[in-house]
Amino acid sequence: MKFGYYPGCSIDRNARSYHISMMAIAERLGLEFEEMEDWNCCGATEYFAINDIPAYTLVSRNLALASQQYSGEKLVAPCSACFLNLKKTDHVMGEYKEINQKVNTALEAGGLAYQPGTVSVHHLLEVIVKDVGLEAIEEQVKKPLYELRIAPYYGCMVPRPADMESFDDPEHPTSMDKLLESLGAIVVDFPLKAQCCGGHMTQISEETALELLRRLLKNADDYGADMISTLCPMCQLNLDAYQGAVNAHFGTDYNIPVIYFTQLIGLAFGIPENELGFGKEIVSAKPALEKISDEAPQEKKRRRRPGRRTGLPMPSMPEEG
């Protein structure tokens, strides 16, 4: 499968391991990523708050280029912010004539133009879960991640907002859960899975950012997660790099590695850790990885129906019946 590829600024800086692991598993999954030429920054999370027209223009330039460079291939962005900005812009351009007009006038100056709907934007996770499919993943699994307890963290951007065709439930996404299960890992219920990591709040109001991070770490810890799996350079950076700061600020001692889901896939595929960018994380994944056992755990005990005669039955969940 061939895809257009919009790497985004962070990918070969703080998110090297994301990039490396992504490319490593790409071969195994027969994915081909053709990097876009002459792409520019997506404006990240702030620019839209500051001045939207230039922001949309910034993003539209990428879309315009994409529409020239690719013939029908989907455009993939691994970074949540990039993904959301590209998708949102395409959506907004379609919805609001006047924005579309202004933006295109601006693009014209650069001899470009963008017709909303011509580029279809997708997040890497979506591509792997939808286009590749869990069956294909399972086939490749050589070293299942048995007994490794993982908290799947989606962040606030990937499945949102609801009014744009989203590939997962905006409030309670489950695609990464299923993916990790197919890798043999134990997926912990992680209620905050779709909540904010603070984004650039670390730069604006560290207080706020740290609190948000604390909640995420605490919740993961409460559920006994050995690690958090993420799909966004920003989230990874915040949770990983600021974990120390959180501990210092709140007197806690969280020690939860934050790993890209692509790295975990690679791991399960039996790709050596060093080829997956392990070791670049600040909170080391080593101790967690040591928990991986070769034995499949015995059937997860189902908390649905308490055996105790006095107890009341839990309602069955949709996937069960």
Partner 1 sequence: MEEKKEKTMQKEKVGVYICHCGTNIAGTIDVEEVKNWAAKNPNVEVSRDYEFMCSNTGQELIENDIKEKGLTRIVVASCSPHMHEKTFRNATERGGLNPFLFEMANIREHGSWATNDKEAATQKAKSLVNGAIERVVHHEPLEKIPVEINPNTLIVGGGIAGITAALELANAGNHVYLVEREGTIGGHMAQLDKTFPTLDCSACILTPKMVDVGQHDNITLLTYSEVEKVDGYIGNFEITVRKKARCVIEDLCTACGICEEKCPAQVVDEGYGAGLGYRKAIYRAFPQAVPGYPVLDKENCIYFQTGKCRACEKFCPTDAIDFEQEDEMLNFNVGNIIVATGYDLFDPRRIPQYGYGRLENVFTSLEFERMVNASGPTGGHIVLRDGETKPEKVAIVHCVGSRDQNYNEYCSKVCCMYSLKFAHLVHEHLPETEVFNFYIDMRTPGKGYEEFYHRLLKEDTHFIRGRVAEITDADHQPGEEGKLIVQVENTLLGKQQRIPVDMVILSAGIEAREDAAQVANLFKMGCDYDGFYNERHPKLAPVATMTDGVFIAGACQGPKDIPETVAQGGAAASQIASLIGQGTMMMEPVRASIREEDCSGCRICNNLCPYNAIEYDEEKEVSKVITALCQGCGTCVAACPSGAIDGAHFTNLQVMSELQGLLWDVQPAPEKVTA
Point out which residues bind partner 1 (CB under 8 A): 162, 169, 171-172, 189, 191-192, 214-215, 218-219, 222, 305-306, 308, 310-318
* Beta carbon nearer to partner 1, 159 or 277: 159
| Min CB(206)–partner 1 separation in Å | 17
Residue carrying the six token digits 């890497």: 124
What is the 8-class DSSP label of residue 320?
G
Which C-beta is closer to partner 1: that of 208 or that of 316? 316
Shortest Cβ distance from residue 126 to partner 1 (Å)?
A: 19
Phi, psi dihedrals of residue 171, rounded to the nearest 5°: -90, -30
Q: How far is the CB of 10 from partner 1 (least distance, A)?
A: 28
Measured CA to CA, the distance from residue 287 to residue 309 in angstroms comes to 41
d(CA 21, CA 16) in angstroms, rounded, equals: 8
Q: Whose Cβ is closer to partner 1: residue 181's or residue 273's?
A: 181
Query: Are the C-beta atoms of 194 and 155 separated by less than 8 Å?
Result: yes
Residues 6+ apart with CB under 8 A from 27: none
Q: Which is nearer to partner 1, 197 or 289 (CB)?
A: 197
CB 190, min distance to partner 1, A: 8
Cβ neighbourhood burial of 255 (10 Å; 0-12, 13-18, 19+): middle
In one-letter notation, the amino acid at residue 125 is: L
**By C-beta, is 168 or 226 nearer to partner 1?**
168
| Cα 145 to Cα 290: distance, rounded to the nearest angstrom | 10
How far does Cα 215 stand from its chain's mean position?
Answer: 19
Q: Taking the complex as a whole, how short is the minimal distance between the CB of residue 239 and partner 1, in angstroms?
A: 15
Task: Kindly tell me which of 108 and 222 has the beta carbon lying closer to partner 1.
Answer: 222
Cβ of residue 194: shortest distance to partner 1, in angstroms? 9
- In sign, the C-alpha dihedral spanning 241, 243, 245, 246 is positive
What single-letter DSSP state applies at residue 215? H
